[in-house]
Structure 1
Amino acid sequence: MTYRITTDLDDMDFSVIHGFIANSYWARGIPETTLRKALENSLCFAVLTAEGELVAFARMITDRATFAYLADVFVLESYRGLGLSKKMMSAILAHQDLQGLRRMMLATKDAHGLYKQFGFEAIAEPDRLMQYLRPNVYQAAD
C-alpha cells in the first residue's frame, strides 16, 4: 500500500484525530474546539493512504526556531506494525521548519524504543524540569 505524509491540515480528517485523541490516556475527553485550536497552532503531520484516509498523526508544538514538543502521536491500530511511525518520525525530523532547534522534547508512556531510534533520550537532569499539571481539565470542561 502507498502512503503519503502531509502537513496540510485541510487534508487531515479532524474527526479521526479527535476520535483517537479524545479517547487517549493523555487527553481523554478533550473538547473538539480545544483540539482544533491546538492543531491550528501546531505543525501537524499525518500519514494518509493513497485514498486520503488518515491512519497516523503527530503534532509539533514549536516556535520553529529554538524548541519543539512532540505531542499527540498515534497510529490507528489496524495500521500498526507497518513502519508508519518510523516514516512519520523521519518526516518530522527532516521538516525544514524543525532544523537547527536547540531542543525537542516529548512525553511517552510506552514508546521509548521508537523515540530512542531517532536520538531522543531520557532527561539527564529531570530535577530541572517542572510542570503545572491539571490531568482532569477536560472532564471539568463538560
Structure 2
Amino acid sequence: MKQNNFISKDISLLNVEEIHQFIANSYWGKGRTLDDVKLTIENSYCFGLYTNENKQIGFARVVTDYIYFGYFMDVIILDKFQGKGYGKILVEAMLADSTIKSLKTLSLKTKDAHHLYERYGFNKIGDSPLWMSIDRQILE
C-alpha cells in the first residue's frame, strides 16, 4: 500500500495560519494570537504531518531540554483529516524520534484523549484529570 503522507521536522513546511486557526478555536488555545503560535513553534521541537502534496494534516510540538524532559503540546489533526488514524501516525512518529526516545520523562495534558495516549504508555498522574506521563528515569 502506498503511503500518502509524511512527517517532517522542517518548520518552514508548516502552514502556520491553519495551525493557528485550529489552536485558537480549541479548548486549550483560546486567545492565542498568530504571533503567539509563531513564537511557540520557533521555541519548540516540532513535527508536521502532511499529504504527499504538502498539505498540512497535523502538527505537534514538544517543549524540551533535549536530555531529561519533554512536554507534548498542541498535538492536532486538522478537522478535515480527523477520524482517519492520523493522530496515531503523528504520536507514533513522535515517540519513534531518536531525540524523544532518549528523554527520561515525557508529559502532556489532555481533557479528552487519554485513551489514545494510554496505548503508547502514558499514565495518568495522581488525581489530575488532565496530566499524563511516561517516566523512564530510574531513581535509587
Q: TM-score surpassing 0.5?
A: yes
**For this pair of structures, how many residues does the alignment match?**
127
Correspondence list, 1:47-126, <5 A = 47-124=49-126
The aligned counterpart of 2:41 is 39
Which letter does structure 2 place at the counterpart of 1:89? V
Please list every run of 5 or more consecutive structure 2 residues that lacks an aligned counterpart in the other structure: 132-140
User: What is the TM-score with the length of structure 1 in the denominator?
Assistant: 0.84
Higher-RCO chain (CA-CA 8 Å, sequence separation at least 6): 1
Amino acid at match of 1:32: L
Instruction: Name the SS for the 2:20 alignment partner.
Output: helix
Instruction: Mark the runs of 5 or more structure 1 residues left unpaired by the alignment.
Output: 130-142
Cα separation, 1, equivalents of 2:29 and 2:45: 18
Per-residue CA distance 1:80-113 (angstroms, 9 max, x = gap):
1211111111110111111221211100010000
User: TM-score, structure 2 length as denominator?
Assistant: 0.85
Structure number with the higher strand fraction is 2
Q: Superposition RMSD on alpha carbons, in Å?
A: 1.6
1:30 corresponds to which of 29, 32, 42: 32
